[in-house]
Amino acid sequence: MLTDPLFEPAAEHFLGLQDRIVAALESLDGQATFRRDEWTRDESEADGGPALHGWGRTCVLEGGAVLEKAGVAFSKVHGRFAEGHAASMPGDGLDFQATGVSLVLHPRNPHVPIVHLNYRRLGRGETAWFGGGADLTPCYLNPEDVRHFHDTHRQVCEQHPRVADWPTLHRQCDEYFYLPHRGERRGVGGLFFDHMSANPQEMFAFVKAVGDAFLPAWLPIAQRHRDDLYGDRERQWQLVRRGRYVEFNLVHDRGTVFGLRTGGRIESILMSMPPLAAWGYDLHPEPGSPEAAMQQALVRPA
């Protein structure tokens, strides 16, 4: 095992954060509960792939009143990178360890935004770092919701100025969650950072605080819109927007790529996929419609 004094404390915090989020989401939904799926891995390079050892807990809710599908995952693993993957990571050697918590929530009502969170601690050789973030992906643009989500996270950044500059992390979020083949952002952003190795104790305090900010940032939005009226038009647009989510996660998302390249558990890696999605050929929203307003807000300015 690699030596990183923050690895075990980070894993303990991420596991507790998963517990708190799962409990809050079950209370919000009121109908469905999470399936709690604990797993272990003990595979050597001789088994035909990269070495991977560790365990995790994947919590998945399906068919709820508010959440059509929700996944909240914790993992704590160590192993050896494949040669090609190691070159893309900071540090030296092939040995790595990783722990983190991640979630993706796909609400039933199209007026409740999709939301994503991921916070992680990784180490390779003598180098260790934090990464992650949270971002909002609405199907319909609601400026009040966007302000609330952003302001909640901005306030945490302002409490940790040595390690978290809100304008920088907010810009990095827009740059990361971007579909270049579409020329548009995946959603309306939030914050994103990676490879943060300086000031590790202060960075850990920030990661704990910003993780704890997720429920206050998203729950009020979900509660506000859970009973909004919608019909077939809104549902079809929601499926199209979910399709964009799938495109990003399968092509560009670092967590998905990391899991696949390190031989991670496929059910946990792909828990972020929505239960239903749609792709329309050469689809363009009607000019002046709420769908067109959402589409325009996601186009990156030239």
Q: Catalytic positions, please?
A: 116
Cα four-point dihedral sign 293, 284, 270, 186: negative
Distance from the Cα of residue 283 to its chain's centroid: 27
Residue 167, C-beta contacts closer than 8 angstroms, at least 6 positions apart: none
9 closest CA partner among 204, 202, 214: 204
Query: Which pair of structure tokens corresponds to residue 64?
Result: 């709820």
Whole-angstrom distance, CA of residue 160 vs CA of residue 172:
17
C-alpha 104, offset from chain centre: 6
Question: How many other CB atoms are found less than 10 A from the CB of residue 216?
Answer: 14
Whether residue 129 contacts residue 197, with contact meaning beta carbons closer than 8 Å, is answered with yes
φ, ψ at 238 (rounded to 5°)? -60, -40
107 Cβ partners below 8 Å, 6+ apart? 66, 67, 68, 113, 114, 222, 226
Distance CA 87, CA 291 (A): 41
